[in-house]
Amino acid sequence: MTSTSGYLWLTSLSSIALVSLIIYNRKRKEAFRCGGNVKFVHTKTAKDFIEQDKDGYIQSMSLQDLRARGVKTITEYIEKSTSDIIPFSYYQKETIYKNLELANAYLQRTRHYFIDPNLLQKIPWKFILTNGYYEQGLPHTRGPYIFLSLNFFKTSQEDQIITLIHEKIHLYQRKYKKAFQQKLLNNKYKIHGLRKDYPNIRANPDLDEYVYIHPLNINIFI
C-alpha cells in the first residue's frame, strides 16, 4: 500500500468517525428534547401496527367507510395504508420539536376540569408519518400513536401547534377513558347509544364507541 492510498484510507476512516459522531450527537440532542418524551416511530413498526390492526379500527369500517376511502375491501385499504407510511426527515423532526416546546408549555399552564395536566404530561408523543393517502392525510390518533401526513407541514405554525394539542388530548381520552367518561356524566352528559348504530357516522379513530348527548340535547361524538 502506498502512502497516498494509506492517506486516503485514514481520511475515509476520519470521515466515517465524523459522520458517526454527528449522528450520535443528533440522537443525544433528540433524546433530551421535550424531556425525552418524543419518539418518531420506525416505518416497520408503523406498518406492522396498521397491518395487524391491533385496535380493530379498520376492521370496524363499513362499506360506506371503505368507499369514502376509495377501496372495496378492508384488505385493500390495509395494503394501501401500509405503503403510505414514510420516515420523518430531519427538518420535519426539528419542526415538530419546536412546536412541541410551545404545545407543552401551553398544556402545562392550562387547567381544565376534564383533564389532569400531570397525567397528560406523562403521555409520550409518538409520531407516525404518511404521504397523505391513509385516512386522507388527516391528523388523528390510534393506540398510543399520533398520525401526521405531509399536509401537516404545509399549515401554519399556529395550526400545527393546535393540531398537536388536539391530538394529545385524544390520547388522554383514550388512556384515561373511564375517568374522562365519568367527568362527562358528572356534567350531565348522557350516553345516547353506540356509534355503530348510526350508519351515517364516518369512522373516526379519535372517538370512542359511544354517542353522547349534551344537556341542551346536542349530539356530540367524543
| 112-130 per-position pLDDT tens digit | 777 888 899 999 999 999 9
Q: Is the pLDDT of residue 149 over 70?
A: yes
Question: Span 211-221, mean pLDDT?
Answer: 61
Q: Is the pLDDT of residue 57 over 60?
A: yes
Q: Is the pTM of this model over 0.75?
A: yes
Q: Is the pLDDT of residue 158 over 60?
A: yes
Asked whether the beta carbons of 167 and 125 are under 8 A apart, the reply is no
What is the helix (H) or strand (E) element at residue 212, kind and residue range?
strand 210-213
Q: What are phi and psi of 151, to 5 degrees?
A: -60, -30
Q: Is the pLDDT of residue 26 over 60?
A: no
Provide the 8-state DSSP code for 188: T
User: Which residue type does 168 have?
Assistant: K
d(CA 66, CA 71): 5
- Per DSSP, the three-state class of 69 is coil
Question: Span 6-34, mean pLDDT?
Answer: 46
Q: What are phi and psi of 48, to 5 degrees?
A: -65, -40
Q: What is the mean pLDDT of the chain?
A: 81
Question: Span 55-62, mean pLDDT?
Answer: 92
Give the sign of the dihedral formed by CA 99, CA 104, CA 109, CA 113: positive
Asked whether the beta carbons of 37 and 124 are under 8 A apart, the reply is yes
What is the predicted pLDDT for the residue at 116? 86
In angstroms, what is the C-alpha Rg of the chain? 22
